[in-house]
Amino acid sequence: MKILIADDSRVMRQIVVRTLRQAGFGDHDLIEAADGKQAFEMAKSENPDLVLSDWNMPEMTGIEVLRQLRAAGNDVKFGFVTSESTPEMKEQAEAAGALFFIVKPFSAERFDEVFAPILG
């Protein structure tokens, strides 16, 4: 399986990758996008099985990426790993089709709890 990690912070992408490995998902193909536009393009060209996106990114926000993918008929499994969390953000994410909303800081246990049912 292929997992796209979208975050404008290189360090945060590395932390997400490390946490995925700690949670037992390191054998998946992990690819990275450094902003929302790149995430949108890679979600179309790379056909990942799952997208883990930050909310606030340059070029396009994570919610814009999700909405544009859905508008284009792309139903990739998509969710957020973000430091910000308001009830409005969670409502917008759910309404747009996000499967999960993980708030930083996160743990390998939290990743396992959320991703095991999605990734099998």
Whole-model pTM? 0.96
50-94 pLDDT per residue, tens:
999 999 999 999 999 999 999 999 999 999 999 999 999 999 999
Please tell me the predicted confidence (pLDDT) of residue 53.
98
Using CA atoms, how far apart are residues 91 and 5, in angstroms rounded to an integer?
Answer: 22
Both structure tokens of 3: 């997992």
Using CA atoms, how far apart are residues 110 and 99, in angstroms rounded to an integer?
Answer: 14
- The CATH number covering residue 83 comes to 3.40.50.2300
End-to-end CA separation in angstroms for the chain: 10
Please tell me the predicted confidence (pLDDT) of residue 119.
87
32-43 pLDDT per residue, tens:
999 999 999 999
Quote the domain boundaries for residue 21.
2-119
Under the banding of pLDDT at 50, 70 and 90, the label for residue 27 is very high
Q: What is the count of structural domains for the chain?
A: 1
Please tell me the predicted confidence (pLDDT) of residue 86.
94
90-113 pLDDT per residue, tens:
999 999 999 999 998 999 999 999
